[in-house]
């Protein structure tokens, strides 16, 4: 067996130190800086499973609105931690950190077959220390696990399956199990499985392998189905669908929130508007500015614009640079494909197909206005695979030039590495709180009765940390709320669900429970018990639902009707 490259071991050890250091930061810092609200859905569901209550967020409604592989991995942490609420989260982040380090190792392995050791090690290092990877590793979600599964599946496919004229049953089953685990890690990795399958069929056609491919594909497909089928059956029994209910809710919310992101009216009787889809696609593509190898360049352009009091010009310059870079990369790849590296290029192009499928799905159907960074995280990894090829070619080009050029390239590389490491440090250890859910939960713990039921749209962290029963109202883990919201009867659901206190951003509450009359707004002001601006959470409000027998004084405001069902997605 080939001995590990010492340079790679240094990179992986340093990566482990950084990511583990973030994972063990004090919990308030993690909650305010790193942990997504949706992560607490996973934590709460895992805690309930460990306690024997089953896959439920609020203790009442079963849900399949989570990625099952990740939750299954963290359930033991809750079984062992007892009543400690923060220790399992630290354990989950440590697990994610280890998966990220392992992913860096797999990135090196995938590349080292086709590029120089130096290019492969640099790619692994850029991946490990980039800001987007540090933040997504510590987001508390399945992100790191999903990308590790993607990397493991791609690595196995390229090494053990694709090059072979015949694939034995053992390898076909292994690939099928890995593919199933990908889907269990993140449902959208089903696009990877599809792209891999199409590539495999094209390879078999080129090799004129006869009809044996049918048995191989059937074997791998059956193994994949065996892995996924129990989860799909559970979904049908729990919420009436084999697909995660969070996906439907996310699409609905993306359309509903469109005005908040300057995307205008999102939907008509004929479906999503053209302007919404165009704006959504632009926002989607812009997120690729954080691909690890390119992030420092785009960040520097943006900072320059801010330095000269021209942020809009900085954004335009970054967009222009991105378009020019994209055109250059297309030309580079096409030339590479026509040259000596043609076979290598074809070997990896199924990853481009997968990327196109993902962008098309999230830009034209699933949507996800403010989720793209984590949704496209697998594509950032794939971007680093192709970046490895670009680094390989760049190193060869520089080595063939004069000493002066080599020195200049060394200086440029040092400046780039310094910028990347500083950005990674700033992301990891300079506290810049951006999530207020921790503080809302703290207020609830100290200002509400222990038997109060709280209704919240963005309810993950509040449900986990508040010590109260919290009902999810945006439908991600509550099919009843989603149905009521979709039909425009959320006000009736709030009244019937036994909710004592309604809390969230004022804009969100108004969107789904408004519009309100002047009398309703006056009543809201009189019943308000929480003003977020006074507690470091600007824009949030909370009001108690009066337990009056008078129908006009109980439940949500009488004029509330939610989103027009004719406009619902």
**Most confident listed range (232-236, 251-255, 551-555):** 232-236
CB 81: neighbour CB atoms within 10 A? Answer: 17
Looking at residue 567, its pLDDT comes to: 38
Confidence band for 210, pLDDT divided at 50, 70 and 90:
low
Cα angle value 196/193/280 (rounded, 5°): 105
Question: Is pLDDT of 228 > 90?
Answer: yes
| 44 Cβ contact list (under 8 Å, min separation 6) | 57, 460, 463, 464
Is 550 a residue whose pLDDT tops 60? Answer: no
Mean pLDDT, rounded, for 520-544: 85
Confidence label for 518 from pLDDT (cuts 50, 70 and 90): confident
> Cα separations (Å) of 145 from 18, 140, 165, 245, 397?
18, 11, 31, 21, 36
Between 257 and 525, residue with greater pLDDT: 257
pLDDT band at 517 (very low <50, low <70, confident <90, very high): confident
d(CA 106, CA 265): 44
pLDDT in tens, 434-465: 888 999 999 999 999 999 999 999 999 999 99
> Region 74-78: what's the mean pLDDT?
97
Q: What is the pLDDT of residue 275?
A: 80
Task: Determine the pLDDT at residue 555.
Answer: 52
pLDDT band (50, 70, 90) for residue 534: confident
**pLDDT at residue 149, as a whole number:** 98
- Note the residue count of the chain: 569
- pLDDT(305) > 50: yes
Instruction: Express as a percent the part of the chain with pLDDT over 90.
Output: 68
3-class DSSP state for residue 542?
A: strand
Mean pLDDT of all residues in 7-31 = 96
Which residue's structure tokens are 């302007």? 275
DSSP result, 366-409: S--TTTHHHHTHHHHHHHHHHHHHHHHHHHHHHHTS-HHHHHHH
Say if CB 569 and CB 272 are below 8 A apart. Answer: yes
Provide CB contacts within 8 A for 283, sequence distance 6+: 261, 263, 369, 372
Phi-psi region of 478 (alpha: psi -120 to 50; beta: other; left: phi over 0): beta
pLDDT of residue 553: 40
pLDDT tens figures, 322-370: 999 999 999 999 999 998 888 889 999 999 999 999 999 988 888 876 7
On the question of a cis peptide bond just before residue 515, with omega within 30 degrees of 0, the verdict is yes
Q: How much is the average pLDDT of 223-244?
A: 95
pLDDT reported for residue 1: 55
Residues 6+ apart with CB under 8 A from 504: 456, 457, 458, 473, 540, 541
Residue 531's H or E segment, with its range, is strand 528-531
- Provide the total of helices (H) and of strands (E) in the chain, helices listed first: 25, 7
Average predicted confidence (pLDDT) for the chain: 89
pLDDT at 221: 96
| Predicted confidence band of residue 561 (pLDDT cuts 50, 70, 90) | very low
Q: How confident is the model at residue 281 (pLDDT cuts 50, 70, 90)?
A: confident
The residue-averaged pLDDT of 209-227 equals: 88
217, 220, 223, 228: CA torsion to nearest 10: -80
493 pLDDT tier (thresholds 50, 70, 90): very high
Identify the helix (H) or strand (E) that includes residue 418: helix 403-429
What is the distance between the alpha carbons of residues 460 and 448, in angstroms, rounded to a whole number?
Answer: 18
Asked whether the CA dihedral 476, 478, 479, 485 is positive or negative, the reply is: negative
For residues 371 and 378, what is the distance between their CA atoms, to the nearest angstrom?
13
Dump pLDDT digits (tens) for 373-409.
899 999 999 999 999 999 999 999 999 999 999 999 9
In whole angstroms, what is the distance from residue 49 CA to residue 7 CA? 42
Report the DSSP beta bridge partners of residue 267.
Answer: 272
Please report where in the chains the tokens 């078999």 appear, as a residue: 204
Residue 270 pLDDT level (bands cut at 50, 70, 90):
low
Q: Is the pLDDT of residue 565 over 50?
A: no
Lowest mean pLDDT segment, chosen from 258-262, 296-300, 415-419: 258-262
Rounded mean pLDDT of 178-195? Answer: 97
In this structure, are residues 33 and 11 in contact, taking their beta carbons and an 8 Å threshold?
no
Per the CB < 8 A criterion, the answer to whether 124 and 8 are in contact is yes
Q: How far apart are CA 266 and CA 490, in angstroms?
A: 20
Mean pLDDT of the region 411-433: 89
User: What six digits make up the tokens of 71?
Assistant: 């939750």
| Tokens standing for residue 465 | 């940390």
Structure tokens, 516: 């309100």
What distance in Å separates the CA atoms of residue 542 and residue 509, rounded to the nearest whole number?
Answer: 10
Q: What is the pLDDT of residue 310?
A: 87
- What tokens appear for 182 in the block? 């990908």
What distance in Å separates the CA atoms of residue 186 and residue 6, rounded to the nearest whole number? 33
Residues forming a β-bridge with 540: 505
Provide CB contacts within 8 A for 187, sequence distance 6+.
67, 243, 244, 247
Q: pTM of the entire structure?
A: 0.92
pLDDT of residue 552: 42
pLDDT in the model for residue 556: 55
Q: For residue 501, what is the enclosing H or E element?
A: strand 501-505
Measured distance CA(519)–CA(432) in Å, rounded: 40
Give the pLDDT score at 564.
38
At residue 501, does pLDDT exceed 80? yes
Tokens of 25: 């930061």
Residue 297 in this model has a pLDDT that exceeds 50: yes
Find which of 67-81, 292-306, 542-556 is predicted with most confidence, using mean pLDDT: 67-81
Instruction: Tell me phi and psi for residue 5, to 5 degrees.
Output: -65, 130
The b-or-e profile of 343-371 (16+ CB within 10 A means b, else e) is ebbebbebbebbbebbbebbbeebbbbeb
Instruction: Tell me the two tokens of residue 109.
Output: 């392995």
Lowest mean pLDDT across 123-132, 175-184, 259-268, 335-344: 259-268
Task: Check whether 212 has a pLDDT greater than 90.
Answer: no
Pairing of strands 271-272, 267-268: antiparallel
For residues 407-424, give the mean pLDDT. Answer: 93
pLDDT of residue 458: 93
Confidence of residue 557 (pLDDT cuts 50, 70, 90): low
What are 236's two structure tokens?
């049908």
In this prediction, residue 554 carries a pLDDT of 45
The DSSP element (H or E) to which 280 belongs, if any, is helix 274-286
> Residue 142 pLDDT more than 50?
yes
pLDDT digits (tens, 9 = 90+) for 36-66: 999 999 999 999 999 999 999 999 999 999 9
Q: Could you tell me whether strands 267-268 and 469-472 are parallel, antiparallel, or unpaired per DSSP bridges?
A: unpaired
pLDDT of residue 480: 94
Q: What is the pLDDT of residue 526?
A: 77
The CA dihedral of 515, 518, 523, 529, to the nearest 10 degrees, is: 70
Residues of the chain with pLDDT > 70: what percent?
Answer: 94
């Amino acid at each position: 067996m080939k001995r590990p490259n010492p340079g790679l071991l240094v990179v992986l050890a340093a990566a482990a130190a950084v990511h583990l250091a973030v994972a063990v930061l004090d919990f308030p810092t993690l909650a305010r800086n790193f942990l997504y609200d949706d992560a607490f859905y996973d934590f709460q569901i895992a805690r309930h499973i460990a306690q024997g209550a089953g896959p439920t967020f609020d203790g009442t409604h079963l849900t399949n609105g989570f990625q099952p592989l990740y939750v299954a991995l963290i359930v033991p942490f809750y079984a062992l931690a007892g009543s400690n609420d923060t220790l399992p989260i630290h354990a989950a982040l440590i697990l994610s950190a280890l998966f990220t380090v392992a992913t860096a190792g797999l990135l090196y392995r995938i590349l080292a077959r086709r590029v120089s050791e130096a290019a492969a090690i640099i790619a692994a290092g850029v991946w490990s220390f980039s800001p987007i990877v540090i933040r997504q590793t510590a987001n508390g979600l399945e992100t790191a696990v999903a990308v590790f599964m993607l990397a493991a599946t791609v690595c196995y496919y390229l090494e053990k399956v694709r090059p072979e004229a015949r694939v034995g049953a053992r390898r076909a089953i292994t690939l099928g199990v890995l593919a199933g685990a990908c889907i269990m890690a993140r449902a959208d990795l089903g696009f990877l499985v599809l792209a891999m399958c199409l590539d495999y069929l094209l390879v078999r056609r080129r090799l004129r392998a006869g009809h044996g491919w049918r048995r191989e594909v059937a074997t791998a497909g059956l193994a994949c189905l065996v892995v996924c089928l129990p989860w799909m059956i559970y979904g049908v029994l729990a919420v009436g669908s084999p697909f995660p209910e969070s996906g439907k809710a996310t699409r609905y919310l993306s359309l509903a929130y469109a005005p908040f992101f300057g995307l205008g009216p999102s939907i008509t009787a004929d479906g999503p508007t053209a302007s919404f889809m165009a704006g959504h696609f632009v926002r989607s593509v812009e997120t690729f500015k954080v691909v690890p190898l390119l992030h420092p360049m785009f960040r520097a352009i943006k900072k320059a614009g801010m330095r000269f009091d021209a942020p809009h010009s900085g954004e335009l310059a970054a967009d222009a640079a991105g378009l020019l870079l994209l055109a250059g990369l297309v030309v580079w790849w096409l030339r590479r494909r026509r040259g000596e590296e043609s076979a290598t290029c074809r070997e990896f192009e199924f990853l481009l197909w997968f990327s196109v499928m993902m962008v098309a799905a999230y830009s034209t159907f699933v949507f996800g206005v403010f989720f793209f960074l984590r949704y496209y995280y697998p594509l950032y990894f794939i971007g680093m695979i192709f970046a490895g090829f670009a680094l390989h070619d760049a190193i060869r080009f520089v080595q063939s030039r004069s000493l002066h050029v080599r020195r200049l390239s060394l200086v440029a590389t040092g400046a780039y590495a310094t910028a990347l490491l500083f950005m990674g440090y700033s992301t990891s250890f300079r506290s810049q709180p951006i999530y207020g859910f921790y503080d809302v939960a703290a207020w609830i713990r100290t200002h509400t009765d222990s038997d109060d039921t709280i209704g919240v749209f963005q309810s993950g962290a509040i449900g986990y940390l508040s010590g109260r029963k919290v009902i999810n109202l945006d439908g991600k883990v509550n099919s009843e709320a989603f149905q009521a919201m979709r039909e425009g009867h959320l006000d009736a659901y709030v009244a019937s669900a036994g909710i004592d206190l309604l809390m969230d951003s004022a804009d969100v509450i108004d969107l789904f429970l408004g519009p309100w009359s002047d009398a309703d707004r006056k009543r809201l002001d009189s019943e308000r018990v929480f003003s977020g601006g006074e507690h470091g959470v600007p824009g949030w409000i909370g009001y108690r639902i009066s337990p009056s027998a008078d129908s006009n004084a109980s439940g949500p405001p009488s004029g509330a009707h939610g989103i027009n069902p004719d406009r619902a997605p």
